[in-house]
Amino acid sequence: MKALIELLKVPSLLTVQDSGRPGYRKLGVPVSGFMDDYSARIANYLVGNPGNTPLLEFLLAGPTIRFNASAVFAVAGDVDVRLNGLPVELWRSYWAKRGDIIEVGTLKDGLYGYIAFAGGIKCEKVLGSCSAYPKAGLGRPLKSGDRLSLSYALLTGREGRYLPQELRPDYSAKEVTVRVIPGPNLEHFTAGGVKTFMSSAYTVTPESDRMGYHLDGPRIEHSKRGADIITEPLLPGAVQIPANGKPIVMMKDAQTTGGYAWIATVISADLPLLAQSRPGTRIKFKEVDVREAQKILKRREKMMEAIKAFLDGKMRAYRIRAGKEERIAFTKVEKA
| pLDDT tens digits, 100-110 | 999 999 999 99
- Nearest 10 degrees: CA dihedral of 249, 250, 255, 260? 30
- Nearest 10 degrees: CA dihedral of 309, 315, 317, 323? -100
Residue 150 DSSP one-character state? B
Q: Could you confirm whether domain 175-288 is CATH 3.40.50.80?
A: no
- Which has the higher per-residue pLDDT, 322 or 116? 116
Cβ–Cβ < 8 Å for 55, 120: yes
Give the domain ranges of the chain.
Answer: 5-167, 175-288, 292-332
Largest CA distance in the chain: 70
Helix and strand numbers, DSSP H then E, in the chain: 4, 22
CA dist., res. 42 & res. 39, Å (int)? 5
Percent of the chain with pLDDT over 70: 96
pLDDT the model gives residue 1: 44
CA dist., res. 289 & res. 271, Å (int)? 16
Residue 336 has pLDDT above 60, yes or no: no
Give the mean pLDDT of the chain: 93
Beta strand 282-287 with 175-182 is parallel
- Which has the higher per-residue pLDDT, 208 or 317? 208
- Lowest mean pLDDT, pick from 51-65, 107-121, 233-247, 309-323: 309-323
**What average pLDDT does this structure show over 317-324?**
69
| pLDDT tens digits, 291-307 | 999 999 999 999 999 99
Residue 68 has pLDDT above 70, yes or no: yes
**What average pLDDT does this structure show over 122-150?**
93
| Centroid of chain to Cα 314 | 26
pLDDT classification of 218: cutoffs 50, 70, 90: very high
pLDDT the model gives residue 3: 57
